[in-house]
Structure 1
Amino acid sequence: MPSPFSSSATPRNAVVLSAAVATALAAGLLAGSTAAADPADVRVHDIQGTTRISPLAGQTVTDVPGIVTGVRGYGSSRGFWIQERTPDDNPATSEGLFVFTGSTPTVRAGDEVKVSGTVTEFVPGGASSGNQSLTQISRPTVTVVSSGNEIPAPVTLTSRSVPSAYAPEGDPAAGGSVNGLPLRPRAYALDYYESLEGVNVRVGTSRVVGASNDFAELWVTVKPHENRTPRGGALYGSYTSQNSGRLKIQSLIPLAERPFPTANVGDVLTGVTEGPLDFNQHGGYTLTARTLGTVQDRGLKPETTRPQRGGELAVATYNVENLDPSDPQEKFDSLARAVVENLSSPDILALEEIQDNTGRTNNGVVAADQTVKKFTDAIIAAGGPAYDWRSISPVNNEDGGEPGGNIRQVFLFNPERVSFTDRAGGDATTPTDVTGQGSRAALTLSPGRVDPANPAWEDSRKPLAGEFSFRGETVFVIANHFGSKGGDQGLTSQYQPPNRSSEVKRLQQAQSVNAFVKKILKADRRADVLVVGDINDFEFSATTKALTDGGALYPAVKSLPRKDRYSYVFQGNSQVLDQILTSPSIRDFRYDSVHINAEFAAQNSDHDPQVLRFRP
């Protein structure tokens, strides 16, 4: 006898559509949106249709047949996937579909079911995220017809089946959205994945391009030769050169039954990984594995940069990821060992994300002396130098980051090799300036903040400028932590190309720093100036172009071989966020992006430090 069960859970934002798409649906402008379907004879491919939006969105469907291919019994998106036994002959219409139950499903993979409910388009992250939507059935009533059936054969994702072109241009009439465009799965990777939304798919042995994380996910590529880095990643080299072979892997297997594997970039996920293709908020298309392969360790090791020679000044930048005294001593010790062993104890080290003495506790404390002391003590214990330090505390909760954390940049320097030129008066709101004309430049405040009242720095870290002396030569260092990419649309957004709204602020910040560097160079065209830090943008971005305007600066990362230009790995893309830029007088230098974190499951920070050595 069939065994029915039903769920009355509230659907996740039932139908969440952009205004443009909603208007198009109402006007019948989307492909298939005016098709009349007999609710008693609807199949999965009828629901999915030939665009990203179901032609039946908002309608009730009855007894949609399918085989259960996967069950998700955890998290806020509980439900299961079904797949049509007898597909149609249209490659654009998916044969798989998610059924959102809201509670732990009682069906099992291999059950033959009939599902009734409301067809909805759920946008992970909400409509404001710009994400594509997931077509699903909500408020389901489910009848199990039989059990133990063979699961439909998987579609294997390969380097040949996934198109190299990433996404079509969005429709200008729909605000740049691709939602209403007919799917072209043989032309575009995102269209291909969308045509398989909810379908049982498989990847064979594949290289890991994004390390496993605390959310039990990793990234692989099905295109082994696509923009491969020497260490096994997938380089993100331009806005128009996407890595279409990237795919996120999650597991449907309860962690109590099988812990998620630990994987670093360059490792290999061997064997068969198979399950329904989902779409979620962080990363888009995701293989939710019913069967998970085995990780083969390829032995990736952290890099070590060479020590500076006697006449070389070594300047480094390192984002230490919200460091505060409440962090475990092991984090301090690991970061300290990295400074001493992997970075070879640079002469000057600009740190980003040093939090105040009470960390994320929002209590008005802004001083960070205890944080810095705990770190510098750990460096001494690791065999490094007794670094001195300079910084300026922000106004409470005025510089962004975690509320109460008051992150800021800090200069560490080795007084055995470098001296700091102190000029008093610098505080959170008083700008430093430049004096001198013709042959000698100096900062009016050292340390001092650059242009702190500029609206570009509102709710963001203000640049920290310092004047150093090395073997009698003056070196200016400006430590930065530009605004984050928060609010940008993802690469799998319904809007193509995606809107990078956060770039507007970073562009203004770059213009502010560029103007200050030009002040120094006007006072002394031969001045040695280094702009360092977490720029939060790519070497090919408008932000970097603004920093270099007028030839004031050169992005030193461009001196590296192209495939070694990265400091961060995000969603399987190896990319540049951290940079050191040099003034024209610094011509002969050696640059190193020291890969010790971003490619690894075990991280001291999510950024790789950068080191530049030169002779002032």
Structure 2
Amino acid sequence: MRALSRALAALAAFGVAATGVTALTSVPAQAEPGTVVISQVYGGGGNTGAPLTNDFVELFNRGSAPVALDGWSVQYGSATGTGTFAANPVVPLSGTLAPGQYHLVQLGGGTNGVPLPAPDTTGATNMSATAGKVVLARSAQGLACNGGSTPCAPEQTALIADLVGYGNANYFEGTAAPALSATTAALRGDHGCADTDVNGTDLQAAAPAPRNRATTPAPCGGEPTPTPTGEPSATPTPTAEPTSTPTPTPTVDPTSTPTSTPSSTPSSTPTEDPCWTPPTHQIAQVQGSGDVSPLAGQTVRVEGVVTGDFQEPDQLGGFFLQDPTPDADPATSEGLFAYARSSFKDVKVGDRVLVTGKVVEYNGWTELSPVTVVDVCGTGTVAPVRQSLPRAEGSTFEPVESMLVTFPEPLTVTDHYNLGRYGEVTLSSEGRLFQATDRPGVSEAANERRSLLVDDGSTRENPPAIPYTDPRAVRLGDTTLGVTGVLGYGFGRYRLQPTKPIGFLRTNPRLPAPFPVLGNVKVASFNTLNWFTTLGSRGASNAEEQRRQLAKLVAALKGMNADAVGLMEVQNNGQSALQALVDALNAEVGAGTYAALSHPYPGTDQIHVALIYKPARLQLVGPARSSTDPVFRRPPLIQTFRRVQGGEPFTLVVNHFKSKGCDTAATGPDADQGDGQSCYNGERVRQAKATLALVESLRLPNALVLGDLNAYGEEDPIDTLEAGGLTSLTKRFVPAPLRYSYLFDGRSGELDHALAARDLLRRVTSATIWHINSDESRILDYNTEYNPPGLYRPDAFRSSDHDPLVVGLTLPGGR
């Protein structure tokens, strides 16, 4: 934060009227560097789709000394309204904030989401979810200004310790922070330390991550000064120009502590001290400016400081070293990996080493292997190089390969498929990644630039202790700040090997039940992920797994509490598998609560679609119907219902279109066309057309087509259904950040759909997706192989790999 600007101070000194400084009030008087700032603003609490019940403002002490908040306050104003800050409830503050400590101010809220962590201060202010103005004032009195229609006079501005204007706010520092939503907050960069007096630079829109006084303090380090505007350089400024030919004198880092001091006396000669043997090359010369080392195949001796120690046999088998005196070329990395286990020479982080070895390109990774000499010659330090995502278009991590790097921005967990098997998670900037064919405006190239794969520095497969599972397994949508590690490479991807523990903020909390839907009838769609009563075919491999699977499926169905549920991937063995599921469900919710329909034409596939319903709530109108059209490998199940009180009927069309998997039969229009829709897209389009024909030919009243259609939201099969007069209910009712039901290859998307015919659309009152599966790691499912036994719970979470979808209908008529 900066002090009162010279221009504004001069105007105040000459007694210029407040109206004369309107143009200057977008940058108010600031507190001295190192005081308390607004580190987070969230105004969507309790809204539809909101992860948290309350709005909040988070404060942070970025200074080096405690700050007393007694007599201070948090004040709010609308983005462009005429009301002053004093017109809204003023939230008084108290207590002392230590350096690096957060202070959580809970404000107004609603019914959706989960509670905030324990607040340090509570107020009643309701903020806008998208745009507004928040001030931290060194006064308990409301400011009689708003920075816009009522400008803040110099004496009022001087009371403002910090200001955040977001969205289309007309009062802000520099430029406004981004517009927010029910699912995004404005987070100050570098865990609260970033402060250039430009809201648009310092704060980014990301998933809300509230922190309170109980959060581990994160000091900025020393007396902070305003962070320079602009992106930090990816390569540190060199302290000296490298010489083209190394001189035969020992290189000594002036900040290091040698383990043995070279001497000019005969008792200490170069032949007696290996640290006298100088390097032959700088690390930057070994790395070169391209993907491949210009010295590949040559033996070199390099010097650096150990930044990452992964020498044990179940780790990477070596260590990372980095030159603390980089060259002047930003295209050359200053880091290198040395393949040398601790049994050869044990080193530790901070050791200054001279390493002799052969330069190789190991599957695209420049490293020294074999290493023949490792000499520890003192200690040193290397500061991590700041990086940010997304990367610039056309760039890679090659210039910082094997270097110590840090990502101070908020990053979101977007993939954990290999968490249990290899200890990997993928993080992304700007929220989670979505499938490019699921919604407009998504680019797979941009997805890649936003991604960072985080590994665990280990080669062990299916380790007994899995990272990021305590106190609960990390979920997609959880976030972290300040990820630091060394950037290795393997299996075709750059991999960050953490050198500091990564703590995840539980910004995507589990919901114990779906968001409530409105109406007098509730229907759902759920893919059961191969519910089989025949062991060892698909689904459970043994009786114990089957028991665990059934418990999770029952918990999920019980949580949905729908009047009718269309099911996919139920074993096609008559009524055996379906009835076993209904019996187990009724044992939990009450005898006779649910009944199972009999499919008139289930087809010959191993799995079929099914339908269960509550006889006390719904009555059947006519028999169950299907189609013998061979285009359906898993024929649909069609049933018309009416509420038991009577009234208008509605029809469920439960379907499960052909999967995207490719095989030798996928030819012609069913082959992968390279458009992101994978194989059998042509067949899924034909199935969509056949579904529309059924709705029309059977004159189905109030038809609702639902199920796993194996097509993302902007793919041809969904376009076909929409062009035929059906409306996607999730596109209409579910906010885009929450509109997904499946995870594949680190991208979320919606494979499970509910589409209403025109006559039903006016009866649909709401829809939601219950995120109990796609956000959860597969190590939590019913399988017993590889999954640590302590992680299993007989609950709804990871009961399948698809999220269930729930729709609320309001049907007229009846008693």
Is TM (by shorter chain) over 0.5?
yes
Residue 276 of structure 1: how far off its partner (Å): 1.0
Using a 3 Å threshold, how does the CA distance of structure 1 residues 200 and 530 change in structure 2: closer, same or farther? same
Using a 3 Å threshold, how does the CA distance of structure 1 residues 394 and 587 change in structure 2: closer, same or farther? closer
Deviations 1:414-452 (A, max 9, x none): 4442538657xxxxxxxxxxxxxxxxxxx5xx3757514
* Secondary structure in 1 matching 2:684: helix
- 1:250 pairs with 2:426: no
- Confirm or deny: 8 A CA contact 1:514 1:552 kept in the other structure: no
- 1:596 pairs with 2:772: yes
Residue 119 of structure 1 aligns with which residue?
Answer: 360
Equivalents in 2 of 1:375, 1:96: separation in Å? 57
Residue 84 of structure 1 aligns with which residue?
Answer: 323
Equivalents in 1 of 2:682, 2:341: separation in Å? 44
Residues 140-151 of structure 1 aligned to structure 2 (within 5 Å): 140-146=370-376, 149-151=379-381
Using a 3 Å threshold, how does the CA distance of structure 1 residues 507 and 297 change in structure 2: closer, same or farther? closer
* Secondary structure in 1 matching 2:379: coil
Residue 89 of structure 1: how far off its partner (Å): 2.0
- Unmatched 5+ stretches in structure 1: 1-36, 123-133, 169-182, 184-190, 230-234, 357-365, 400-405, 424-442, 453-461, 488-497
* Secondary structure in 2 matching 1:464: coil
Normalising by the residue count of structure 1, what TM-score does the alignment of the two structures yield? 0.64
Equivalents in 2 of 1:368, 1:80: separation in Å? 59
Letter of the structure 1 residue corresponding to residue 497 of structure 2: T
Residue 54 of structure 1: how far off its partner (Å): 1.0
* Secondary structure in 2 matching 1:596: coil
Residue 469 of structure 1: how far off its partner (Å): 1.8
Equivalents in 2 of 1:298, 1:43: separation in Å? 44
Equivalents in 2 of 1:278, 1:526: separation in Å? 58
Equivalents in 1 of 2:390, 2:329: separation in Å? 18
Using a 3 Å threshold, how does the CA distance of structure 1 residues 217 and 287 change in structure 2: closer, same or farther? same
Letter of the structure 1 residue corresponding to residue 399 of structure 2: S
Residue 154 of structure 1 aligns with which residue?
Answer: 384
Using a 3 Å threshold, how does the CA distance of structure 1 residues 407 and 247 change in structure 2: closer, same or farther? farther
Residue 142 of structure 1: how far off its partner (Å): 3.8
Give the length in aligned residue pairs: 469
1:63 to 301, 314, 325: 301
Residue 332 of structure 1 aligns with which residue?
Answer: 550
Deviations 1:352-401 (A, max 9, x none): 3x4x5xxxxxxxxx737554344323311221633314467775xxx6xx
Using a 3 Å threshold, how does the CA distance of structure 1 residues 499 and 54 change in structure 2: closer, same or farther? farther
Letter of the structure 1 residue corresponding to residue 509 of structure 2: L
Residue 68 of structure 1: how far off its partner (Å): 3.5
Residue 465 of structure 1: how far off its partner (Å): 0.7
- 1:545 pairs with 2:756: no
Equivalents in 2 of 1:321, 1:205: separation in Å? 40
- 1:240 pairs with 2:443: yes
- 1:519 pairs with 2:736: no
Equivalents in 2 of 1:151, 1:368: separation in Å? 69
1:278 to 488, 491, 496: 488
- Confirm or deny: 8 A CA contact 1:267 1:295 kept in the other structure: yes
Using a 3 Å threshold, how does the CA distance of structure 1 residues 263 and 228 change in structure 2: closer, same or farther? closer
* Secondary structure in 2 matching 1:214: helix
Using a 3 Å threshold, how does the CA distance of structure 1 residues 259 and 563 change in structure 2: closer, same or farther? closer
Letter of the structure 2 residue corresponding to residue 240 of structure 1: S
Using a 3 Å threshold, how does the CA distance of structure 1 residues 536 and 197 change in structure 2: closer, same or farther? farther
Using a 3 Å threshold, how does the CA distance of structure 1 residues 604 and 520 change in structure 2: closer, same or farther? closer
1:383 to 569, 584, 589: 589
Using a 3 Å threshold, how does the CA distance of structure 1 residues 337 and 147 change in structure 2: closer, same or farther? farther
Deviations 1:23-64 (A, max 9, x none): xxxxxxxxxxxxxx999955443444444x315496444335
Using a 3 Å threshold, how does the CA distance of structure 1 residues 333 and 526 change in structure 2: closer, same or farther? closer
Letter of the structure 1 residue corresponding to residue 690 of structure 2: F
Residue 473 of structure 1: how far off its partner (Å): 3.8
Using a 3 Å threshold, how does the CA distance of structure 1 residues 519 and 535 change in structure 2: closer, same or farther? closer
Residue 5 of structure 1 aligns with which residue?
Answer: none
Residues 576-587 of structure 1 aligned to structure 2 (within 5 Å): 576-587=750-761
Equivalents in 1 of 2:751, 2:507: separation in Å? 26
**Larger CA deviation: 522-531 vs 552-561:** 522-531
Residue 411 of structure 1 aligns with which residue?
Answer: 611
1:564 to 716, 721, 738: 738
Equivalents in 2 of 1:389, 1:150: separation in Å? 72
Identity across the alignment (%): 20
- Confirm or deny: 8 A CA contact 2:602 2:609 kept in the other structure: no
**Higher CA-based Rg:** 2
Equivalents in 1 of 2:589, 2:677: separation in Å? 41
Equivalents in 2 of 1:295, 1:315: separation in Å? 32
* Secondary structure in 2 matching 1:378: helix
Equivalents in 1 of 2:282, 2:810: separation in Å? 71
Letter of the structure 1 residue corresponding to residue 420 of structure 2: D
Deviations 1:142-193 (A, max 9, x none): 4211166335221133xxx43465x43xxxxxxxxxxxxxx4xxxxxxx2x3
2:804 to 601, 609, 613: 609
Using a 3 Å threshold, how does the CA distance of structure 1 residues 556 and 264 change in structure 2: closer, same or farther? same
Residue 100 of structure 1: how far off its partner (Å): 5.4
Deviations 1:458-511 (A, max 9, x none): xxxx34311202128462514215424789xxxxxxxxxx99576242421321
Residues 340-489 of structure 1 aligned to structure 2 (within 5 Å): 340-341=558-559, 343-352=560-569, 354=570, 356=571, 367=573, 370-383=576-589, 385-390=593-598, 406-416=606-616, 417-419=618-620, 446=626, 451-452=631-632, 462-471=633-642, 473=649, 475-484=651-660
Using a 3 Å threshold, how does the CA distance of structure 1 residues 57 and 202 change in structure 2: closer, same or farther? same
Equivalents in 2 of 1:306, 1:119: separation in Å? 59
